[in-house]
Amino acid sequence: MRVGLRLLRDWWREDVDYGWVVDAIASRSSLGVLKVAIGVCGLVAPAICVLMLLSPQAPDGPLGRAVLWLLVGAGVAWGVRWVVLPWPAEAESLVLVAIADVSVTVVCALSPGYVVRSVGMLLLLIVGIYVSAFHAPKALAVHTMWSLGSAALLAAPLIGSGDVTSAAIMMLGMAAAVVVPPGLQFCYWVLRSEMLSDPLTMLLSRRGLDYHSAALLARPSPLPVCVMMIDLDRFKSVNDSFGHTAGDEVLVCIADRLRRAAPAGSIVSRFGGEEFAVIVRLPGAAAVAAAERLRGAVAAPIGSISVTASLGLAIVDRAAIGDRRGTRDSLREILGSADRAMYQAKQRGGDAVLAAPHSCSAQASSAS
């Protein structure tokens, strides 16, 4: 029970990297097909409006007809935008979702027929699936509340007229729009978490580091960004002397120590092989102290095996990091600086912390 609640809490707090998801789809050359599919789905609502205007069930008053024609124009523009223009940025995507939600609800409210309202509920479900794939749980919660409110708005007149059965059918149909998208998003989150984790140490993988660091670097904060690259000294001798199974156990133990010793809010990852990376926001002096704690945590004996680590530290101000794509380019540069400092520490004998030039005023710190 506690594990389930913890998973739900972690899922709810997840800050989905919209750009990362879009880039992942684009890397498989699937973004164009998805854009066209979304645009075609968006043309369903204006098509329904036109059919309503041409049917005997069209609104009698000029206001209702004017609203439907307005929705026809808005729906066509919405669909064409998806097909013709580039993939929207995150803020525009949320605006397009809001337009779709409002348009579908208004069309359903102006239609007296159950068929149109049923199709409207299906369209709200499709919008929810899109939100579950690209946006955070909180955005999906807003869409879900809107869908519930729309269903209640459409069911209220039926209940008032005594047609409780039809109202119940509509609410049950709306249950799919409430249950399916959150369930899908939770599954996406679980699969994404597994994909971004290192299977041996359960730290973030290199891809996971890239994913989670984007949100950390983009978050407003006056504190500088600190990157620590950690490489185990002469780790090959551990595998040669004790075997690869023992080497794996050492990596798991060290990963756990790094996780525990890292400052709160740190992103800790296995960068590759016996190399680890830690990203956190800290003042320069605190970052050097944190790096020393990590070095000491690694150096503690593991049974009969002793391992040390060389640490490279790079610190930059947030102002030096640009937008989302610039953030990723900047991260690579910072990682490169920390990596070069780490190899310099290794060349000096290892078991040391060395700050990259211009990162902070601290000098190299060696083990006593």
Tally Cβ neighbours within 10 Å of residue 10: 12
Closest Cα to residue 104, out of 78, 74, 81, 124? 124
Our answer to whether residue 274 is catalytic in this structure is yes
Cα–Cα distance for residue pair 88/102, rounded to 1 Å: 19
Closest Cα to residue 285, out of 356, 214, 341, 363? 363
Q: What is the 3 state secondary structure string of 179-221?
A: HHHHHHHHHHHHHHHHHCECCCCCCECHHHHHHHHHHHHHCCC
Closest Cα to residue 205, out of 264, 260, 267, 149? 267
| β 352-355/309-316 pair status | parallel
Residue type, 242: F
Cβ-proximal residues to 206 (8 Å cutoff; 6+ apart), any chain: 269, 270, 271, 272
Strand partners, 205: none
Catalytic residue among 274, 275, 292, 333: 274
Report yes or no: 355 and 313 within 8 Å, Cβ to Cβ.
yes
Active site residues: 274
